[in-house]
Chain A
Amino acid sequence: DADVTQTPRNRITKTGKRIMLECSQTKGHDRMYWYRQDPGLGLRLIYYSFDVKDINKGEISDGYSVSRQAQAKFSLSLESAIPNQTALYFCATSDRGLAGGETQYFGPGTRLLVL
């Protein structure tokens, strides 16, 4: 079984609709992240959470919200989807980097199309 799972894997929605992307992990990591990937731009950080009570905005948080329901679950919501939110979305986890040099582990991605 995959350590980091994302649901759904593909989603088509219409402008103005609210949607939620979900992420679950079995790695026991404290830290979770949401990224989006656009062609030619690499990965950009949307939100991150260092533990259940900690939520931080990333580089491109406008139009998104998150919820950390448990250590293992981190969901991303688009309150009112717009076409330029069409992208590939990745969830990632990492362990507490006490010694530095943190490595992130990624889910398989959710491909979102907003019409």
Chain B
Amino acid sequence: DQQVKQNSPSLSVQEGRISILNCDYTNSMFDYFLWYKKYPAEGPTFLISISSIKDKNEDGRFTVFLNKSAKHLSLHIVPSQPGDSAVYFCAASPYFVDSNYQLIWGAGTKLIIKP
């Protein structure tokens, strides 16, 4: 039972256009969401996060949108650049950390930016 789903294993986008990566979750206890980016032979690196008190968070070219009623979030990258080619993971957890805390991860979406 996947609590965090990224239904697109891969996505190809032209350089300069918008990349939209999607993530769905099922657990209503999740109220903090993160996007990580992973290059080959490297560990995931934190990209951007959002808590459920917001519906949008922006950091430069990266914007995450959260639709709580649909249990859906998306990452927008505008404009897309070749260096954005990577695997993007969505992750979710309850906002407050306690001894039962676990970060639940999606399977990832491989983004390919075409020149």
A residues lining the B interface (CB < 8 Å): 4, 40-45, 48, 50, 54, 56, 58-59, 90, 92, 96-97, 100-109
Contacts and interface: CB of A to CB of B under 8 A. Distances in A.
7 contacts: A40-B107, A59-B102, A90-B44, A97-B97, A100-B32, A100-B96, A107-B43
B96 A104 contact: no
Given A43-B89, A109-B41, A104 B103 contact: yes
Interface residues of B, number: 28
A38 to B, nearest CB: 9
Interface in B36-58: 36, 41-46, 49, 51
A41 B91 CA distance: 12
Interface string B77-115: 000000000000101010111010111011110000000
B9 interface: yes
B46 A103 contact: yes
